[in-house]
């Protein structure tokens, strides 16, 4: 799994934010975090809510400058935006003034692709995420799950080398989610991209990943455990859950996380 | 049902209009105010008719409309460009802002004679005056509109590989559109004010010239005829802005509504 | 006649008086400014506020609308206003000649063949419809031409006049002072018709056309005869002062920034030119009134069409007579 | 479970929306849908993404007038807003200009509660959702899961008789989610409210509910199956999953839904 | 680093200012333009000094500032109220909109004499004129700002039991605040324009009166001195608006940034 040059390396990252209600003070969301992802590796990040997963992804995308530490992309130190990466945001990030199809083709359009060709590609992707027929709907005419799928298509159409995903499937029903997961795995398999995947669904994390990283509860989040998932590939996400190895891994990661969550919650309860 | 609602509004509009005219007429008829100041709606209408019947108005109207439209377009475009530029370049914004704010606050109408000195007595000086009025209304809104862009949508576009100009075209401008149009409605008025005041301060033709002439002759009906004429054309220009706005902003999320639900 | 029976220095009924004027610092209104600056109003027990307006017609509106008490404007407005059913009565005259000057560019001046030389030219006036515009109309009509044979351009009365000449946008203009004198001293234009003198005034208006006067509504005059008398007294004093004082004495009254560009010499020059235009005693003669009426009939259709214009109602010399007797 | 007067009754609801990209046409999101919820009943709604679940909830809240059909609340025909109901939206609905605490106390504030008392209550609720210490943070300073919990507290603090929830826990990690679920069950148990609960997580639906309603894929969504959940109460959501009855119900509902999802997806793929 | 950036901006500002004055001075010194049209910066400065040294300016300045501030406050409040009202009541909006648009387009400055008749020659008529200018700039933005309120946030507040007034206070107004402030910056300028033009058209005191006098005397330096004085105070008023704005809008989401990250 290790490779000489990682596709993505977060080294010794710390992120301090201005503290709420305490002018001048800071809140340390992330600290001492080192995460490397090899080319072609699929890594999932799990951790209690509010611990700093999205913050790490923002750092990896180059959108957020860490207070400390460096990011490397294929060995190059990252300074601006991470141009190798596609990022599917946790929040709604579609452009409300564009229809679903227009949103999907934004990337190719920016890259200067011919209008007709981009359209064809966009329609193709709309169908792949199960939204054929909704091309002309504006985002606010779509359901929450549909918007997520538009965002998915918008990111994947760019065919990025590094994929950053923040809870991409949490708004989908189980069945649709499995379809999308398989779609993602197919794509990843076809031309091994590097994926950094955030999820709250442990089963999803195990089913998809080569490695699962568990984070501690905030403040001062940092990785507390890494779990290599050596389940056979190619996988079908619906069936792999029935393997015994799967249950073992699930229990193992669950154990590691449980304490953290309770810790975080206890803090939150004061 | 929808239809009858609209019909009712229209009827109410007409009623208000009739009441307005009647009230106006009553003011002088019953001597509540001197007709020296409020004129007579029928004489005003007659004056307007005469202006059009003799065709003498077309030259003046043409001049004023030309000045207004050019000032409106140039002022808006300039406000848009400078607003975008300063909103996106913090250094430029810090450098320019005291000057812009100062110039905004400067009573530019007083500079009309100076504009006449710099740009002559023709349409150019009126257009210049109109631009200085239109510019700021648009500028402040564009500036604020750009800064209100949703940070997530912006980040998304950047991640999708948008260059600076693409960001501008695909994110900043569409997002600021409703701000721009809100300012354009006020700007229509400003453009007319600029043109007419410019003419009023010194000119050879235009509706402002007519108004000034009427004022010199204590002809309040002529003044009102000119003002009403301008107002009418301002409404037309505003309606055009409204049509473009409706077209460009049709995507805006409004409260969801089903088809056929009883209101 | 009641005024005459009153003792001389009685208290005015309305010590606080607002006088409306359009373009206060023009030489046209020098007597008013002198009366104010020399404290003549104060001496009469008056506390005068001078409200300045951007144009003559606006000052008229202020008085007709009741926001000012007394109007300082061209006498001809008395007749205009009577026709419009808003009568005012003039009670003391400031200028006996209008003081407007038709100035033309040096090129035009070179082969000046009278007003017909203006045909097809752009002529600047302070504002369309103003007294300066009417002077051009009158000149054209008297020369057998139509007012529309020239293009009338409103240029105001400030620096834009100079600019309009410099940019070649106008070839002639009718202006009062200081614009006329400045145009000449800057070499931008030469005076051709000059109503600062009797001859010029006769040439244009066919007689002694009166200029600025103080006026008020009949109601105001009836209610405040002592106030009006006090105003008149002060004005007559000022007129008298202008007649007798040297240029320097007048200049000493005016604050430095009232002199165009602070240029005392230029201002003195200007004074020399306009001095004859001021009324020596504040009286309006029958002839002057009739001249005004005849002129108005030519260029103002409303006056022309009006039946039974009562010229006697537009002015009174009673207060001036009284002031003359007292002073 | 049936009672003479249902707490909430949607009768014969149909919702047509203006169609996208086809001026004048309509899209029928929901049709022939009748759903009744008895006082004190906990009903979950499951169905494929984009089928019309949120639309039904909007109708139940009174925010959306259906094209056809009526809504009754405790026997009263609903005309305006449903004043008996609390609604936790699927989308982010916090007021960005208020801090977390200020958001939580919005309801009591509107109801005219004394400032200090509302504050105390609000702090209490912040702690109950595990966010003590974040009172002064603005929504955009909170993570996705934290915002959801603020919204939860904002709604529950009102103590509504009818609770409408649209995927309230989907942004939470498994452990936090279970804590929240238990919190909700406690509350519901204490003074039997009526709950209409939308989720994509079948296990969650079964663990919490008295009844699960499955919806067909859109367009023209309508209930296709109702499943009474007669598991013993009180329940602990973490443990109940191990019951055999649970697995049986899960398989049963899963079967019913699977087809629908695939149908919907096939349509979307054209 | 932050500090040195600010220092550099300040230096640049000062440099621009000096260049500006030098350029101005050069214009007349080298006879590029006549001193009748552009004046002399040093004489202008002297005039300003004199005005303050003799104290004669305070009366005029007081009048103008009073008119401006009152017009600004009343116009803004009125614009806010009417904007809220029309944005929330579609029927009222449909009924009133042609009249409002027409009045917006009407060159109100021409009505200054009528205002003088209605409101007298004192400060009231100037305030009235200023209000008509300020009103529309604020009105259009409030109107649009209210309609831009997020439908979900609004629905949420309604579900939480907000009454109409509570919706107004807790949702519409906070949400429209950035719109309001954007318009207030333009409105500062409009309030000054209103006051000064009102004075310019006819008055007995105020900076506009001083400017009118100076113009009548071909005293361009006096005109500029008045204009600069007004500009200075407009900047102060604008800065006050800016401070209030920063206070009320501190919640606005900006691009996230960590503490201590290299820029
Ligand atoms: N711009 C910001 N200003 C202040 N604090 C912030 C900011 N962004 C994030 N934080 C804080 O950093 C912490 C981590 O946030 P983050 O969004 O990374 O969590 P997360 O792991 O993605 O949670 P979730 O699973 O709920 O999405 C939170 O406590 C949050 O309050
Ligand atoms: N305002 C609207 N205009 C047009 N179509 C709409 C509108 N609101 C919803 N729809 C359509 O109605 C259907 C149902 O939407 P809804 O949001 O109810 O789905 P949902 O079941 O909540 O899905 P999800 O699980 O993804 O949240 C979708 O196809 C959507 O496109
Ligand atoms: Mg997150
Ligand atoms: Mg939904």
Mutate to test the interface with E, among C53, C126, C155 (most CBs of E within 10 A): C53
- In the prediction, which pLDDT does A189 show? 84
Say yes or no for a CB contact (<8 Å) between B117 and C86: no
Q: Of D94, D100, D126, D141, which is best to mutate to test ligand 1, by the most ligand atoms within 8 angstroms of its C-beta?
A: D141
Say yes or no for a CB contact (<8 Å) between A136 and D257: no
Say yes or no for a CB contact (<8 Å) between B116 and C152: no
CB count within 10 Å of CB A161 equals 20
Q: For residue range E223-242, what is the model confidence (pLDDT) as tens digits?
A: 888 888 888 888 888 889 98
Kindly identify the ligand whose nearest atom is closest to the C-alpha of A52: 1
User: Do residues C35 and C237 lie in contact, with contact meaning Cβ atoms separated by under 8 Å?
Assistant: yes
- Judged against a pLDDT cut of 50, whether residue C3 lies above it is answered with no
Question: What number is the average pLDDT over the span D150-159?
Answer: 93
Mutate to test the interface with C, among B121, B199, B223 (most CBs of C within 10 A): B121
- In the prediction, which pLDDT does D21 show? 67
Q: Is A12 left (phi over 0), alpha (psi -120 to 50) or beta?
A: left
Contacts of B186 in chain E (CB under 8 A): 104, 136-137, 140-141, 186
Mutate to test the interface with E, among D93, D108, D141 (most CBs of E within 10 A): D93
Contacts of A17 in chain E (CB under 8 A): 256, 258-259
In this prediction the pTM is 0.85
The CA-atom distances, in angstroms, between C49 and each of C317, D107, E123 are: 24, 60, 14
- Count the alpha carbons within 13 Å of C112 in the hemisphere toward its beta carbon: 18
The more confidently predicted of residues D234 and E33 is: D234
Task: Give distance in angstroms: CA of A17 to centre of ligand 1.
Answer: 9
Question: What number is the average pLDDT over the span B86-92?
Answer: 85
Cβ–Cβ contact B171 with E under 8 A: no
Contacts of E253 in chain A (CB under 8 A): none
CB neighbour list of residue D234: distance below 8 Å, 6 or more residues apart: D185, D189
Say yes or no for a CB contact (<8 Å) between D67 and B260: yes
Question: What number is the average pLDDT over the span A237-254?
Answer: 86
Contacts of B113 in chain C (CB under 8 A): 156, 158-160
Could you give the angle at the alpha carbon of E9 between the alpha carbons of E4 and E11, nearest 5°? 90
Task: Give distance in angstroms: CA of D199 to centre of ligand 4.
Answer: 9
Query: ipTM of the assembly?
Result: 0.83
User: Do residues B81 and B96 lie in contact, with contact meaning Cβ atoms separated by under 8 Å?
Assistant: no
Sign (positive or negative) of CA dihedral B136, B137, B140, B141: negative
Cβ–Cβ contact E150 with C under 8 A: no
Cβ–Cβ contact B152 with D under 8 A: no
Rounded Cα–Cα distance for residues B228 and D262 (Å): 66
Cβ–Cβ contact E161 with D under 8 A: yes
Q: For residue range D17-70, what is the model confidence (pLDDT) as tens digits?
A: 887 767 778 888 998 899 999 999 999 999 888 889 999 999 999 999 999 999
Kindly identify the ligand whose nearest atom is closest to the C-alpha of D134: 1
Please state the domain extents for chain B. Answer: 42-251
- In the prediction, which pLDDT does A191 show? 81
Task: Give distance in angstroms: CA of D142 to centre of ligand 1.
Answer: 5
- Judged against a pLDDT cut of 70, whether residue A21 lies above it is answered with no
**Domain range E42-251, CATH architecture:** Orthogonal Bundle (1.10)
Residue E105 CB less than 6 A away from ligand 1: no
Rounded Cα–Cα distance for residues B123 and B134 (Å): 16
- In the prediction, which pLDDT does B238 show? 87
Kindly identify the ligand whose nearest atom is closest to the C-alpha of A150: 2
Say yes or no for a CB contact (<8 Å) between D171 and A49: yes
User: Do residues D39 and D248 lie in contact, with contact meaning Cβ atoms separated by under 8 Å?
Assistant: no
Q: For residue range B226-255, what is the model confidence (pLDDT) as tens digits?
A: 888 888 888 888 889 989 988 888 777 776
The more confidently predicted of residues D255 and A110 is: A110
Find out whether the peptide bond into A219 is cis, omega within 30 degrees of 0: yes
For E98, nearest residue in chain B (alpha carbons): B235
Bridging pattern class, strands D68-73 and D223-228:
unpaired
For residue C10, give the DSSP letter. P
Beta bridge partners of D18: D26
Kindly identify the ligand whose nearest atom is closest to the C-alpha of D139: 1
Rounded Cα–Cα distance for residues C78 and C89 (Å): 7
- Judged against a pLDDT cut of 80, whether residue B34 lies above it is answered with no
Q: How far is CA D245 from the centre of its chain?
A: 24
User: Do residues D133 and D119 lie in contact, with contact meaning Cβ atoms separated by under 8 Å?
Assistant: no
Contacts of E110 in chain B (CB under 8 A): 196-197, 200, 208, 211, 215, 223, 227
Range picked from B87-91, E29-33, E257-261 for highest mean pLDDT: B87-91
Rounded Cα–Cα distance for residues E252 and E261 (Å): 21
pLDDT band at residue E77 using 50, 70 and 90 as cut-offs: very high
Q: For residue range A209-230, what is the model confidence (pLDDT) as tens digits?
A: 999 999 988 788 888 889 999 8
Residue A67 CB less than 6 A away from ligand 1: no
Tracing tokens 């009320």 back to the chain, one arrives at: E248
Mean pLDDT, chain B, as a whole number?
Answer: 84
- Judged against a pLDDT cut of 50, whether residue D1 lies above it is answered with no
Nearest to B259 among D16, D58, D140 (CB): D16
The more confidently predicted of residues B157 and D262 is: B157
Cβ–Cβ contact E78 with B under 8 A: no
DSSP, collapsed to helix, strand or coil, labels residue D96 as coil
User: Do residues B139 and B100 lie in contact, with contact meaning Cβ atoms separated by under 8 Å?
Assistant: yes
Rounded Cα–Cα distance for residues C59 and C70 (Å): 10
Chains A+E touching (3+ CB pairs under 8 Å) = yes
Say yes or no for a CB contact (<8 Å) between A67 and E257: no
Task: Give distance in angstroms: CA of A47 to centre of ligand 3.
Answer: 10
Rounded Cα–Cα distance for residues D175 and A260 (Å): 9
Q: Of A135, A139, A141, which is best to mutate to test ligand 2, by the most ligand atoms within 8 angstroms of its C-beta?
A: A141
CB neighbour list of residue C108: distance below 8 Å, 6 or more residues apart: C117, C118, C121, C171, C172
CB count within 10 Å of CB A224 equals 15
pLDDT band at residue C4 using 50, 70 and 90 as cut-offs: very low
Nearest CA to ligand 1 atom 26: D145
Q: What is the edge-to-edge ordering of all strands in the sheet holding A26-37?
A: A26-37, A8-18, A68-73, A76-77
Residues with C-beta less than 6 Å from any ligand 2 atom: A 137, 141-146, 171; B 256; D 17, 27, 29, 49-55, 90, 218
- Count the alpha carbons within 13 Å of A246 in the hemisphere toward its beta carbon: 18
- In the prediction, which pLDDT does D267 show? 60
Mutate to test the interface with A, among D93, D173, D217 (most CBs of A within 10 A): D173
Chains A+D touching (3+ CB pairs under 8 Å) = yes
Nearest CA to ligand 2 atom 12: D29
Cβ–Cβ contact E169 with D under 8 A: no
Longest dimension (CA), chain D: 58
Question: What number is the average pLDDT over the span C71-99?
Answer: 85
- Count the alpha carbons within 13 Å of E32 in the hemisphere toward its beta carbon: 11
- Judged against a pLDDT cut of 70, whether residue C262 lies above it is answered with no
- In the prediction, which pLDDT does D37 show? 93
Q: Of D52, D60, D216, which is best to mutate to test ligand 2, by the most ligand atoms within 8 angstroms of its C-beta?
A: D52
- In the prediction, which pLDDT does E144 show? 86
Residue D200 CB less than 6 A away from ligand 1: no
pLDDT band at residue C87 using 50, 70 and 90 as cut-offs: confident
Residue D141 CB less than 6 A away from ligand 1: yes
């Amino acid at each position: 799994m290790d490779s000489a040059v990682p596709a993505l390396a977060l080294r010794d990252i710390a992120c301090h934010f201005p503290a709420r209600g305490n002018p001048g003070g800071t809140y340390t969301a992330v600290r001492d975090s080192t995460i490397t992802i090899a080319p072609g590796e699929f890594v999932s990040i799990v951790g209690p809510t509010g611990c700093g997963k999205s913050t790490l992804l923002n750092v990896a995308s180059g959108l957020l400058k860490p207070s400390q530490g460096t990011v490397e992309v294929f060995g190059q130190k990252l300074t601006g935006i991470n141009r190798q990466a596609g990022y599917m945001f946790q929040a709604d990030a579609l452009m409300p003034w564009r229809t679903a199809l227009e949103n999907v083709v934004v990337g190719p359009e920016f890259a200067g692709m011919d209008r007709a060709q981009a359209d064809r590609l966009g329609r193709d992707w709309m169908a792949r995420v199960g939204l054929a027929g909704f091309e002309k709907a504006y985002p606010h005419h779509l359901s929450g799950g549909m918007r997520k799928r538009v965002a998915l298509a918008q990111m994947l159409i760019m065919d990025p080398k590094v994929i950053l995903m923040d809870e991409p499937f949490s708004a989908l029903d189980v069945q649709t989610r499995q379809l999308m997961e398989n779609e993602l795995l197919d794509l990843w398999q076809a031309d091994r991209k590097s994926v950094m995947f955030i999820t709250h669904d442990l089963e999803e994390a195990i089913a998809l990943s080569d490695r699962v990283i568990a984070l501690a509860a905030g403040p001062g989040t940092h990785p507390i455990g890494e779990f290599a998932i050596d389940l056979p590939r190619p996988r079908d996400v619906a069936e792999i859950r029935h393997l015994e190895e799967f249950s073992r891994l699930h229990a193992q990661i669950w154990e590691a996380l449980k304490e953290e969550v309770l810790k975080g919650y206890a803090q939150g309860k004061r | 049902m929808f239809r009858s609602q609209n019909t009712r509004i229209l009827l109410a509009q007409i009623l208000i209009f009739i009441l307005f005219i009647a009230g106006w007429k009553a003011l002088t008829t019953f001597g509540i105010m001197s007709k020296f100041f409020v004129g007579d709606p029928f004489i005003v209408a007659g004056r307007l008719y005469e202006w059009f019947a003799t065709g003498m108005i077309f030259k003046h109207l043409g001049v004023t409309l030309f000045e207004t439209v050019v000032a409106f377009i140039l002022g808006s475009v300039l406000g848009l460009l400078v607003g975008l530029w300063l909103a996106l370049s913090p250094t430029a914004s810090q450098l320019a802002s005291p000057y812009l704010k100062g110039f905004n606050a400067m009573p530019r109408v007083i500079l009309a004679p100076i504009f006449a000195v710099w740009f002559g007595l023709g349409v150019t000086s009126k257009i210049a005056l109109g631009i200085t009025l239109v510019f700021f209304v648009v500028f402040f809104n564009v500036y604020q509109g750009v800064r209100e862009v949703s940070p997530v949508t912006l980040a998304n576009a950047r991640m999708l590989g948008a260059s600076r100009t693409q960001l501008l075209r695909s994110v900043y401008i569409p997002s600021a559109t409703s701000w721009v149009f809100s300012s354009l409605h006020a700007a229509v008025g400003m453009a007319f004010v600029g043109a007419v005041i410019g003419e009023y301060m010194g000119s050879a033709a235009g509706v402002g010239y007519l108004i000034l002439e009427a004022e010199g002759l204590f002809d309040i009906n002529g003044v009102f005829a000119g003002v009403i004429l301008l107002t009418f054309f301002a409404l037309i220009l505003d309606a055009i802005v409204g049509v473009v706005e409706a077209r460009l902003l049709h995507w805006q999320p409004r409260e969801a509504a089903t088809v056929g639900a009883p209101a | 006649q009641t005024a005459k029976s009153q003792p001389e220095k009685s208290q005015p009924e309305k010590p606080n008086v607002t006088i409306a004027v359009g373009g206060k610092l023009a030489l046209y209104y020098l007597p008013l400014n002198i009366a104010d600056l020399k404290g003549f109003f104060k001496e009469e027990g008056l506390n005068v506020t001078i409200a300045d307006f951007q144009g003559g017609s606006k000052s008229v509106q202020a008085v007709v609308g009741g926001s000012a008490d007394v109007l300082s404007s061209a006498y001809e407005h008395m007749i205009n206003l009577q026709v419009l059913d808003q009568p005012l009565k003039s009670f003391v005259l400031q200028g006996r000649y209008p003081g407007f000057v038709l100035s033309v560019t040096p090129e035009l001046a070179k082969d000046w063949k009278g007003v017909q030389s203006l045909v097809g030219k752009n002529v600047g006036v302070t504002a369309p419809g103003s007294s300066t515009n009417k002077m051009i109309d009158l000149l054209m009509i008297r020369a057998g031409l139509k007012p529309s044979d020239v293009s009338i351009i409103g240029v105001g009365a400030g620096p834009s006049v100079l600019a309009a000449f410099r940019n070649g946008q106008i070839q002639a203009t009718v202006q009062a002072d200081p614009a006329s004198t400045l145009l000449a001293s800057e070499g931008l234009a030469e005076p051709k018709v000059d109503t600062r003198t009797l001859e010029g005034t006769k040439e244009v208006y066919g007689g002694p056309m009166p200029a600025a006067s103080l006026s008020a509504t009949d109601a105001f005059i009836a209610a405040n005869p002592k106030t009006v008398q006090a105003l008149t007294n002060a004005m007559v004093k000022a007129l008298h002062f202008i007649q007798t004082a040297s240029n320097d004495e007048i200049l000493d009254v005016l604050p430095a920034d009232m002199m165009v560009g602070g240029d005392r010499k230029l201002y003195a020059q200007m004074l020399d030119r306009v001095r004859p235009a001021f009324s020596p005693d504040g009286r309006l003669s029958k002839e002057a009134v009739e001249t005004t009426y005849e002129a108005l009939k030519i260029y103002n259709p409303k006056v022309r069409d009006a039946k039974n214009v009562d010229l006697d109602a537009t002015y009174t010399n009673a207060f001036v007579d009284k002031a003359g007797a007292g002073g």
